[in-house]
Amino acid sequence: MRFKYKNLVFSGGGVLGIAYLGVLEYFYQTGLMQPIVNLAGTSAGAITACLTSFNLPFEELKVMLDSLDYRKIPGKDDSPEAPRYFPKVIKDQLGKVFDNVDCVYRLIKNYGWYSSQYFYDWIRLQIASQFDPEKKAPPYTFSDFRDASLHKENRPFKNLFIIGTDITRSTSTVFSYKTTPNMEVAEAVRISMSVPLLFESIRTSCDINESDPQTLFVDGGMLYNYPITLFDEDYPLKDTIGVYFKSTPKAISINNIVDFISCSLSCSGSIQNAVFESNPENVTRSICIPTGDVSTFNFDISPHDATYNFLYEQGYRAAEIYFSLLG
């Protein structure tokens, strides 16, 4: 095989991450996945990187990724603390103004409108399915991901690197077996997809900031949406291949606070893309997936509907074109 990459990197992109399935199908078909050692991702890319690290056959990986119900990701489930925070009389009055008082509470208390509990439960379930519970019970850490003796069939995983944003220090954080061996992987992935203000932020302890056991984390895409340079200190540039999205600019109707948050975050992503595209070395080792005008936050999507099929096909075609141009 001419191309033997060791590192595969996925950018953030919300539901656009469905396109990664098309890319992965191409990688598996052509043998490009086999030599991959390290997987890194932010937000939607973190989800893909996590499940791909299990080192499963593509058909099993696809079934697992397709089991995620995007419509349930923006959860409005009741917050158990809301009744204490809002007495019933106040909650009743707020309910006349807001469609969900629990979302208001979550925004005030945890700095995010929606709950990410459904996603957290889902990713924990997928991870647990790859471990032998008789050898170790959940939760499973980055250190556990490195210990093949705990995995079903003793199957070794590929190394996993997840990007989050430490909002208390305004810095990116890399969660991995090197930096946070004792951190739960599901929690790291949850952090990476927790778009600020849209989803609740996550307070947690990790190995990095021992002086401050409870740090506030949000979506890794805030500062490092496409971690294409993550492995450059340890590997030659040619050993890394990445995948990112290119959307068609489109005026979006802003009708509520969620629309406003989504558009504001899209502006941040556009700035990061402009910086990335100004570096020819990074562009050369990146597969660009054109996603048209599909919204990053279009959660009304399901396997094999028109939008799903479009994104899937765009991912496969982008990988096919990229490698055909390399000759």
CA distance 251 to 170: 30
Tokens of 207: 């190995």
Query: Catalytic annotation on 247?
Result: no
Which residue out of 79, 172, 219, 247 is catalytically annotated? 219
244-278 CB burial, b ≥16 within 10 A, e <16: bbebeeeeeeeeeebeebbeebbeebeebbeebee
Query: Catalytic annotation on 300?
Result: no
- Tell me which long-range contacts 251-258 makes (C-beta under 8 A, separation of at least 24): 252/295, 257/113, 258/113, 258/198
Give the SS3 label for residue 54: coil
Q: How far is CA 3 from CA 73, 136, 241, 323, in A?
A: 36, 37, 10, 9
Which residue out of 11, 43, 115, 176 is catalytically annotated? 43
Residue carrying structure tokens 């048209």: 292
CA distance 73 to 183: 23
Active site residues: 43, 219
